[in-house]
Amino acid sequence: MKLKYFAHSAFQITADNGKIILIDPFLDGNPKSPVKSDDVKADYIILSHAHGDHLGDSFKIAKREKPLFICVNELADYCASKGFKAHNMHIGGGYDFDFGRVKFTIAHHGSQTPDGTYAGEPAGIIISNGKTIYHTGDTGLFYDMKLIGEMNSIDYMLIPIGDNYTMGITDAVKAVEFVNPKTVIPMHYNTFDVISVDPKEFKKKVEEKGINCRIMGFGEEIEL
């Protein structure tokens, strides 16, 4: 399995069976992304919530690639209303796909589409297939992260550190302590001035807690 970071909260997972999964593909309007929507393929698109910097270029990609959307019920219905295939899920529920298992967790944030449509609850995403990835979505710190870490052996935790809209560095470090992943990867930072932080500060503080931190470059792909 491979993980590629496009910047902000946008990632690509390439499963062992070759299936390509995009998470929150905000690319064309993303000043830090080295690729644009025309450059990516997708068998699946998983959305944490519906804000424009997460829904992003999903529909533009979907018109070309015909992926299956995986998201909470209301957002899945919204995707289906636009003519796309969707698998409806919700927080606490899991489902086995051909690339692995997906389960949604709570996230403390909001979720409304750019056109003002209510899109259900925001969510975190746990993807398991040999390795387990926890994409927290946009969220503030919450104590149930400790429970998520106790119930799941998280190999890679993808966590926002940019502050203002999500956790900042201090709260993100505490979240990592709660989950205790093998490796944490910071996200949702430096895309805009209002979320400008130094990921090296986060890395230093996390590693002082004995947890490995990997700062992925924008466009970098790693083997999991």
The Cβ of residue 118 has, within 10 Å, a number of other Cβ atoms equal to 12
User: What confidence score (pLDDT) does residue 20 get?
Assistant: 98
Domain count, the chain: 1
pLDDT bin (cut points 50, 70, 90) of residue 161 is very high
**Side-chain half-sphere CA neighbours of 180 within 13 A:** 10
User: What confidence score (pLDDT) does residue 172 get?
Assistant: 98
Assess contact for 20 and 14: CB atoms under 8 A: yes
String of DSSP letters for 2-63: EEEEEETTEEEEE-TTS-EEEES---TT-TT-SS-GGG---SEEE-S--SHHHHTTHHHHHH
What does the pLDDT look like over 3-47, one tens digit per residue? 999 999 999 999 999 999 999 999 999 999 999 999 999 999 999
Residue 142: domain span:
2-214
Structure tokens at 147: 């429970």
The overall average pLDDT reported for the chain is: 98
78-82 mean pLDDT = 98
User: What confidence score (pLDDT) does residue 85 get?
Assistant: 98
CATH number at residue 186: 3.60.15.10
What does the pLDDT look like over 174-196, one tens digit per residue? 999 999 999 999 999 999 999 99
The Cβ of residue 21 has, within 10 Å, a number of other Cβ atoms equal to 26
> pTM for the full model?
0.98
Q: Is residue 47 part of a domain?
A: yes
One-letter amino acid of 134: Y
